[in-house]
Amino acid sequence: MQVTLTVNGDEVTSEIEPRLLLVHFLRDTLGLTGTHWGCDTSNCGACVVLMDGEPVKSCTVLAAMAGGHEVRTIESVERGDVLDPVQQGFMEEHGLQCGFCTPGMIMTARALLDRRAGGEPLTDAEIREAISGQICRCTGYTNIVKAIRWAADQEAAPTGGR
């Protein structure tokens, strides 16, 4: 079957098997290997991408179901050669060790910050809740929360994060 969707701002059309999962479509068909493929059971969150702005586990969405929708992956968050504040936060606060969970964590954090833009400051409890469906097997959760907090503070600053 043929599927057409928008990935990182570009419309792509592809001939696929209906059973192809979005994670494999992104990695194998489009070569966007920044999205990681982890547990395959919608538990770990390594494969999180944004679909119409909301984080979804791409191992549990058919590529066919993404047809007509807008998908954003980790490859889209850097602007030119300027890192997204969330990426910068992961550097500043040592938010990654092995890096396997990082793309999914960053996409979830990006959506969290976008939803809250201009609103009340995020609490650490809200950040922890937002990433509660994602696993860091290095167990670096404290620094991941700090990294997202860094980005939130940066974006809330009068000069703006980006």
Using the rule CB under 8 A, is 45 a contact of another protein?
yes
The structure tokens 């600053």 sit at 157
Report which secondary-structure segment, H or E, holds 144.
Answer: helix 141-156
Q: Is 113 one of the binding residues for another protein (CB under 8 A)?
A: no
When the beta carbons of 29 and 92 are compared against another protein, the nearer one is 29
CA 157 distance to own-chain centroid: 23
Q: Which CB sits closer to another protein, 119 or 158?
A: 119
Residue closer to another protein by CB (options 43, 97) is 43
- As a whole number of angstroms, the distance between CA 147 and CA 143 comes to 6
The secondary structure of 41-77 as a DSSP string is SSSS-TTEEEETTEEEEGGGSBGGGGTTSEEE-GGGT
Instruction: Report the residue from 9, 19, 79, 125 that binds another protein according to the rule CB under 8 A.
Output: 19
14 lies in the binding site for another protein (CB under 8 A): no
Of 5, 7, 56, 106, which one interacts with another protein (CB under 8 A)? 56
> Quick one: which of 61, 86, 145, 151 contacts another protein (CB under 8 A)?
61
Residue span binding another protein (CB under 8 A) among the ranges 34-42, 88-96, 116-124, 142-150 = 34-42
Q: Any contact of residue 102 with another protein (CB under 8 A)?
A: no
Q: Burial level of 48, CB count in 10 A (0-12/13-18/19+)?
A: buried
